[in-house]
Amino acid sequence: MRHMTKYAVVFWLIAAMLAVPLGTSAMAQDSQVPISDESGTTPGYMTVDALLMRPFGLGAILIGSVAFVVALPFSAATGGTRDAYEMLIKSPVDYTFKRPLGYF
- What pLDDT shows up at residue 30? 53
- What pLDDT shows up at residue 27? 57
pLDDT, one tens digit for every residue, the chain (104 residues): 677 787 777 777 777 777 766 655 555 555 555 555 566 788 999 999 999 999 999 999 999 999 999 999 999 999 999 999 999 999 999 999 999 998 87
Q: Is 100 helix (H, G, I), strand (E, B) or coil?
A: coil
Full-model pTM? 0.60
CA-based angle 45:19:13, to the nearest 5? 140
**Torsion angles phi and psi, residue 3, rounded to 5:** -65, -40
